[in-house]
Structures are given as C-alpha cells and as structure tokens.
Structure 1
C-alpha cells in the first residue's frame, strides 16, 4: 500500500494523480511490475524457492525454452506455485509456434489461471524473424487481450540502423495498438570494469520510439556475470542499473538472471541471485530490498512520460543530451555527475527524477530551481512505503543520494 504524509494541503492536480494511481484497473499489464528471467530449474521448482521469489518482491517470472520446462505440466506447476505465493508466470509452450488451433489450445490451457502473466514467443529475434513473431504476437493478443506476449529485442550494438531498422520496424510489424511493451536487453557492467559505451544510447533510442508510438517500454537488467564478458554486479551496481532505467522511462524492468544458468554452451555464468544449487547468494538481500524500494517509486512513475533526459557532469556518455546551461532545475556544481529527467503528465506541474551516477560514492547535491516554482514535493520511500512531503521552495535545496540511487520530486 502507498500512503501519504502531508505537511500542507495538496493541489488538485496531485490529488487527481494519486486517485488515478490508486483506482486504475490493476493487473501486471497495467501497472509497474518487476520480473525475473530464468526461473528456478525444474528440480528446484518448489515451495521454498517460490517463497524466496515472493520475498524478493518479484511480480512475475519468465519461463523460457532454454530453461527446459516447456510442457503444459511444467507450466501449470509453476503457475500453481506462483499463485500460492502471490506473483505471476509468463509460460513457455511449443504449441505457440504451431497452427492456429494449436495456439488456441495453448491459450485455453492457461488463460483462466489467475497467475498467468503472459506467453513466451522469442528472445532476441533477428529481423528475418519479425514477420512470424509479430503474427504470433497478434494472435495471442486476439485470444487473450489481458496478457503480455514476450518478445525481447537485441541491443543496439548488434543491429545496424538500430532505431529505424530494428526498433521502429518491430513496433510497426506488431502494430503499436497491439504492443504491450517495447522490450530490449543490454547489460552494462563489462568485465574490464567499464560500463558499456552504448548503454545510455540504447535507453535513449527505446525511450524515443516508445514516446513516438505511445508504447510503454521494458528493459532487461544485469544481475549476473558471464566469464570473459560481464562482471558480476555489486549491490550498488544493481541500484544503478534499475534507477538509470527508470530515468529513461522504463516501466517494466526484468532482471537477467535470477537463477544461475548452467549448461549454457560457451557462456559460463557467475552466481546470480540464487546459485546453481538453489542457495541464496550475497546479492539476494540487497536485491530484495532494492526491488521493494523501487516498486513504490515505480507505481508513481508508471503513468508519467520521460519527456526530457539530461546528463550533468564532466563526461557526456554516447547518445545523451547535456543538461542545458539555463535549464529550470540544475545542480549548483556543473561537475556533479547525475541524470535529470523531466516526467510529464498533462500540464500540471513538473515531475523530476534525479539519479546519482556514481557506482561507489554517496553524494550530496544542491540544486537551483526557477523562481516560478513555489513548492516542492519530495517522494520519500521508507520500508517500501512512499510518503509525500510538500514544502515551500524559496531557495536552493539539497539532498543525499546513495551510489546509483534515484529520487523523485514534484514542483509547482
């Protein structure tokens, strides 16, 4: 539950916004939700593991072909366990690739289960697979309008002319009126200690296309390492990954991976949130706390559009926009490394989301705000509950950010 603590009377705009949040139709397709890719393997599909998923504040898990749980009985056991513990499953069933009658039979097998999240189609299709993937997507929407078909796009460093040739092309093939989420993956934490140079550029492209076609966006986040490719992220890097994604308007983050995959060919995985033997790793506790915190903020951001995203600081990442010198909100020090996102909902004031881009250092930032804004509302999260603190704004304001942390404000 989201509660509010007010120090003064809210404007009609803020009350209207919260009424929209609290009384809009529920269900994971219409609200902020956090998922995990690669669920516990079959021999660990049990009460203990599913209780841990729930305690990690996960809203859905994605079953995939590679996880080798591809039969109706596999899916139904996963659905039953997920329902018992209060989250959902995106099922994987080979009939999805068959005739119209086989697709219909697959949907009918799961459609009435209360824990059904959606249907797996394809992870990272190349452009030659768009036609059949889009056709299956549309058929699934026709048969089950309330669930989410799963197709996940390659990152931009794989595909030439990525924005038009891949991302927009996929939206157009499915039809923006059918597409539940525009989804892609890219994992930032490289084995050499750096962040992938195209990380923010990819987020910017997906943000731009999502706004152009009025489609909500989803992204896969890195919670695992792969030997000789990606380093195993720290707790602060998990925080950085999810808050920078939120800053670019992502509404449906999915962690890759939750379980540690084995037998993955040439890819050798470091321990993820749960190790290959079904044991919690050192990342489980911060992962759980982070998800709990982010879900409170995500429910506010879900119905807002990330209309402007700027970077401030000494370095300008590829594909990003520098904060304008005379922007209406800005840090007092131009060397402070941060993201400042303007979120919009109609014309009622200005929502701003600010992320500390340091991976290791807690930062205190001070901001100047244009004098036309008389009040600031700070959205604070404590133990997974969000409180709204409104105060007069008659001078600069300061706040403290953990490494990679994002904070939300409203100005009017």
Structure 2
C-alpha cells in the first residue's frame, strides 16, 4: 500500500552535498557532549565540514576497506537488552512535538519513535531527539538528505558515471554528517534506511549498512520490508543485506469483518527468514481504518500482537500513532491520536496492552528461540498455517481454536519449553486444554504479567481460558 512513510524525495544528484542541504552541521553537533546536546543547536553543513567528513583517514573508513563485521543484535539499541521494544510510526508533527506529547507517548508504554509526519529538517530532528531523550524514548531517524541519499534516492556505485549513484566515499561522507549531527543525543537508536524496498535495492542497502556498521557500530541500521508471499524476497534480504532485524508490515483487518487470507502465510515466511538469519523479527500492527481496512477494536489490537508473538515477533510497531491527515489520501481514519491531537479509545487500549501485558510477557519471550508455531482445533487451516502435532511434553491441545507458539532456551542442553497459547478469535472468548505429559514434565507455570512470575499448576491438563484476542504464557520444566 502507499503509506505516509513512502515520501517522494529528490531525483537529482546535485542535491546531495550542496550547501543548501537540510543536514545539521557536523561540527556543531560534534562539539556537544554525548547525551547533553542542545535541542536547538543546528545549521547547514559547510563545504569544509563535508570535505572533512569524507576523509577516509579522519573517519577510519575507506572505500576499499573490508566490510565491517555484522554486530550481534544483542549489542544494538532496541534489539539488545532485556526490554521488548514497542515502537510507533507517524508521531506528532513538528508543531505538536512538545515535551507533553512525548511524555504522552512514553506513558502509553512505547519505547521508541520512528520519525515522520513532516519531520524532515535537521533542526526538527535534533529538537525531537531532545524531547525523546527527556521522555526516556529512543528514536530511529528518517533523514531524507543524508541517510536516504545513500540508501534510497541514489544507489552506491564504484563507477562515478553510473546514473543516479553516489560513490562509496560520498556515501560515507553523507553518513558521517548524520552520525555526527545526531549522535550526541543519547536518544538516537539508529537510522531508518529504507521503507519497503524492492529486491533490486538490496545490493545498495548492503553497502549502506556496511558503511553504518563501520562508522557507527553502536547504532541500529533499520529497514522495513514489504508484505510479500514470496519467501525468496525475505531470504535474499538476509543473504544480501545481512540485516540486524527483519521488519515488515501487513495489515490483516479488512473491511466487512474479513481477514487477510495470507496474513499467517506472510508471518510464517518472515519467521522462517528470521530464524535462518538468526535475527529478530519485528512487525507493524494496524491501528486505524484506511482503504478496504476496518478500524480495529481493542481486542483486535491485542489479537494482532499476540498472533505476532506466537509467530516469534521480537518487536511490535504501531501503524500509526498520530492520524495522517485527509490530504494524504487512502481514507485514513483515527489512529491512537486524532489529526487534531485528541486521544482515541485505541490510545488507552494500547496503553493498557503495552504496560500490563506486552512489556512483561515480552521480557520473557525476547531471549527465547521460536521453535514451532501451530494452529490447534482450526479447520480448515489458513494458508501457510501448520496444524498442531503432539510432542513429548504436550500430548494434545483440545477445545477452541488457538495458535500455539513453542519456544526454547538458547541453551541447547535445556529441555524446558515455553508455550504462548493465543486465542485464534479476536471477537469471541475461547477455552483450550493443554494436555501436559506428566512423564516428561516436572512442573508447569502460568505466567502472571502483573507479578512478572509463574504461578505453579498441577502437572496434567491445563485449562486456558482466553478473552477475545488474548493469550497465556506457560512454562514447562522438563524432568
């Protein structure tokens, strides 16, 4: 779909390194100590600073240098650490970017913001980074002049005569400008390199991410992929780009109460690619109505999240937070915040979900490895879904239709398993019974998010009552 995060950009190479670029001055930002940069210190990069930034000797980068090693996701902002990342796209527009608005985001249980909603100027980015820092949020910056010029508007080529391309040295200079301008802010998590690239762009993204890792290995290079039913698209992304995560968007709640018939199929493909690349899988969830898509209920917000968790999601992003205005087309309805800044019922639903469920259960699931995801008691199975198969620990799942994600520890020697049992329905209550094998399971715990602990249960059939869209996490300790 054509979304607010598909913004048309410049088409001429002459816009790249000119004095009129909206980049903030690297020299001004570099002179400000990390984490304490003034929200108003900004300017235009001078020709002298651009030349300095492009110097391979000064930056430690070289166009002919070997590619930097791919950092483990465990070492990067958002993908690393114990906290499950919850983000949003289409934040408050520049005139609504205030300390109160960013505190409102934090109070709803969000951890990071992907810039957008007409924030495209270096002054605005620095101002928002300061607001995010003060609110305890992280930001992924969508810098159209520096980062997008090396990753989206132009390809990276060693041949200077290639049409609409930049050389590796020019790409490095562009990245250094952005890094030095925004890097002093502790709220900078990384850069948004490209939204929904076609496969033909993967080679340039590979070069762009390699430059990012060479010049700022501590920052997350972020790319969000198209929805697709083609496994090759995601596998090639892993093989060629070598990403730090796989993020995608597919919005399953269609008009007239329908579901996207290939939603589970797309999730299964992404899950497979993420396991193949040993990287986290992130997804966007739908918060609003737009062309041929309905407005989600609170239960449908929760359902999207829990289905995604069952399929192995390690990060959840909301599309959108602020409502895109009517002039953008596509018939966007109210999101979490309306066009004129009013909270909707979905803001309060997201606040409750993020704070009381997603953050606590996410801490449990984030370090685990998705082993299987199966649909129990559902006939016919949706496209791409796999039916439940008994295991030595669980002999069966009976009752209403549920989606069961099974997870294991990264310690291969551990026989313990975690089961996220998610209601297949977003409109009706469900009750499932998980038949635990007492011959192989030593103890059963039911996760209580409010206490961040597991309550012991009798080893045997476990009753799992579920509200619409809800899920329960079980821990099975092997004998």
CA distance in structure 1 between the aligned counterparts of 2:97 and 2:245, rounded to whole angstroms: 28
Q: CA deviation at 1:75?
A: 0.7
For 1:297 and 1:223, the matched residues in 2 are separated by 21
Bigger drift between 336-345 and 126-135 goes to 126-135
- The answer on 1:185 being equivalent to 2:249 is yes
- Are positions 1:254 and 2:317 aligned together? yes
Cross-structure match for 1:319: 384
In structure 1, the gaps of 5 or more residues are 1-23
| 1:351 Cα deviation after fit | 1.2
1:44-123 to 2 correspondence within 5 Å? 44-64=96-116, 67-93=117-143, 94-96=145-147, 97-98=149-150, 99=170, 100-123=172-195
- In the other structure, the counterpart of 1:329 is 394
Find the residue that maps to 1:255 and give its secondary structure: strand
Residue 3 of structure 2 corresponds to none
Question: In 1, Cα distance between the equivalents of 2:339 and 2:272?
Answer: 38
Q: RCO (CA 8 Å, sep 6+): is it higher in 1 or 2?
A: 1
1:152 and 2:227 aligned: no
Aligned-partner Cα distance in 1 for 2:265–2:305: 16
The count of aligned residue pairs is 374
Deviates more, 1:83-92 or 1:133-142: 133-142
Name which of structure 1's ranges 55-64 and 365-374 shifts more when overlaid on structure 2. 365-374
Q: Say whether residues 1:387 and 2:439 are aligned partners.
A: no
Which residue number corresponds to residue 50 of structure 2? none
Which runs of 5 or more residues in structure 2 are unaligned? 1-73, 151-169
Paired residue for 1:209? 273
What TM-score results when the alignment is normalised by the length of structure 1?
Answer: 0.87
Q: Partners in 1 of 2:256 and 2:343 — Cα distance?
A: 26
Q: Which has the larger radius of gyration?
A: 2
Q: In the TM superposition, what are the counterparts of 1:255-334 in structure 2 within 5 Å? A: 255-263=318-326, 265-292=328-355, 293-315=357-379, 316-324=381-389, 328-329=393-394, 333=398
C-alpha distance in 2 between matches for 1:410 and 1:260? 39
More moved, 71-80 vs 123-132: 123-132
Distance 2:256 2:421 in 1: 27
**Range with bigger deviation, 255-264 or 336-345:** 255-264
Deviation at 1:281, TM superposition (A): 0.8
Tell me, in whole angstroms, the C-alpha distance in 2 between the residues paired with 1:215 and 1:296. 21
2:474 alignment counterpart: 409
Mapped contact 1:365–1:399 kept (Cα < 8 A): yes
Matched, 1:366 2:433: yes
- Distance in 2 of aligned mates of 1:131 and 1:329: 44
TM-score by length of 2: 0.75
Question: Structure 1 pair 368/296, CA: closer, same or farther in 2 (3 Å)?
Answer: same
Aligned in 2, Cα 1:332/1:267: closer, same or farther, shift over 3 Å?
closer
